[in-house]
Structure 1
Amino acid sequence: MAYPDKLLADDEEVVRHLHPHWLTVFWPLVAFLALVGLGSFGAALIPEGSNQGVFRLVVLVVVLVLAVPLVAVPLLRWRTTHYIITTHRILHRVGILSRTGRDIGLSRITDVSYTQTLWDRIINSGTLTIETAGDGGSTVWTAIPDSDGVQQLLNHMVEEDADRRAQESAGYIGQYYRGDTGPFEPGR
């Protein structure tokens, strides 16, 4: 079973599964290219001799040590950050070795807003702020691709969830007052 699907209830479906905007991995990729170039250049500068292999190995180790925090960690952080919108809730999961997560039922969402800087508008990204009922406070999702579209989608999903709950409640109350548990039949 794929990652977000194993988190879902039986009647729940993924509407949108997002990672942070792809430009969040731009500088790690530039760092990777720079490290490869500098490492190759440094290895080529080492003069021939009996220790040439050792010095080239040192250059390789330095490049690898620098690649971990500058390239590998940001790429893994991007890949392991999930923003998931389902038919019943929103989920946020983040973490490489240790994970944290937050689930918010659509019925608890009171407001969804987004902000975009000029640069965010150019690259079609932004920050979502999700207000909820209760003590949880605001949830802020940063570097969201198509943030205005996601904000509209969330507002639509909240309305659909409210309508679904109202219909379920009305059906249950109608069955309760009629004294039966079968489907509602008009005129009965």
Structure 2
Amino acid sequence: MGYPEDVLAPDEQLLLHRHPHWKMLFWPVVTLIVATAVAGFGAGMAARHLEGAARTPVLVAILVVWAIVVVWRCAARIISWKSTHFIITDRRVLIRQGVLTHTGIDIPMSRISSVQFRHGLFDRMLGTGTLIIESSSAEPLEYDDIPQVQRVHALLYHEVFDADRGRSDSGYR
């Protein structure tokens, strides 16, 4: 078993496991392309116009600046995307984030009082949106960039409705 199956209770069923939508990787990819093009241009100019001992430190400096920009603006965002998990089981909603410092929240299905989604024109074109979960004890929680947010909303709504129906059928109120 891999993640997230290893964090589930023995009889808990995984219904959905998603990372945020790929649109959050758009700007890191653009940054990578532009940084590489600028570094390549700078290295080409340095190789063409500088001679001997002056060329090497300039090329190393260009490489170091490129590496810093790529790690800071690209790699960190990709790792953040990959380490963010949105999970729905038959009992709860789990959100996990982080690599070095993990944060997470579990919302039992029985505590969810409302499920909403929001997506504008651009989000609809990409098939993503914001999922809003209201629980009985806190402010609404908003999760951006959920892929196929309408399907996730419908799944979560049906799970909450089935949990409510199960409690009312067994005499609990």
Asked if these proteins are the same fold (TM beyond 0.5), I'd say yes
- State how far apart, in whole Å, the 1-side matches of 2:3 and 2:55 are: 47
Which digits, 9 at most, give the CA deviation of each residue in 1:24-64, with x for residues without a partner?
10110111111111111111111232231221111000111
Q: Say which SS state the counterpart of residue 53 (structure 2) adopts.
A: coil
Query: SS where residue 51 of structure 1 aligns?
Result: helix
Structure-2 residue corresponding to 1:149: 151
Quote the residue 1:8 is aligned against.
Answer: 8
Separation (CA, whole Å) in 2 of partners of 1:36 and 1:166:
60
1:128-182 deviation line (CA, Å, top 9, x unaligned): 1101112x22111111111111111100111222344456x46xxxxxxxxxxxx
The 1-side partners of 2:86 and 2:51 are apart by 52
**2:96 alignment partner, SS class:** strand
> When the two structures are superposed, what TM-score results if normalisation uses the length of structure 2?
0.91
Q: How far, CA to CA, are the matches of 2:143 and 2:45 in structure 1?
A: 46
In 1, distance between residues paired with 2:139 and 2:86?
18
Letter in 1 for 2:147: P
Question: Looking at both structures, which has the greater relative contact order when contacts are Cα pairs under 8 Å and sequence separation is at least 6?
Answer: 2
- 1:117 is aligned to 120
Which blocks of at least 5 consecutive residues in structure 1 are unaligned? 171-188
CA distance in 1, matches of 2:39, 2:51: 17
Amino acid at match of 2:149: S
CA RMSD of aligned residues (A): 1.5
Work out which of the residue numbers 33, 36, 59 in structure 2 matches 1:56. Answer: 59
Larger Rg: 1
% identity of equivalent residues:
37
Residue number in structure 1 paired with 2:104: 101
5+ residue gaps, structure 2, are none
Counterpart-to-counterpart distance in 1, 2:130 and 2:23 = 14
Report matched runs for 1:1-188 at 5 Å. Answer: 1-46=1-46, 47-134=50-137, 136-165=138-167, 169=170
TM-score (norm 1): 0.84
1:20 aligned partner, one-letter code: P
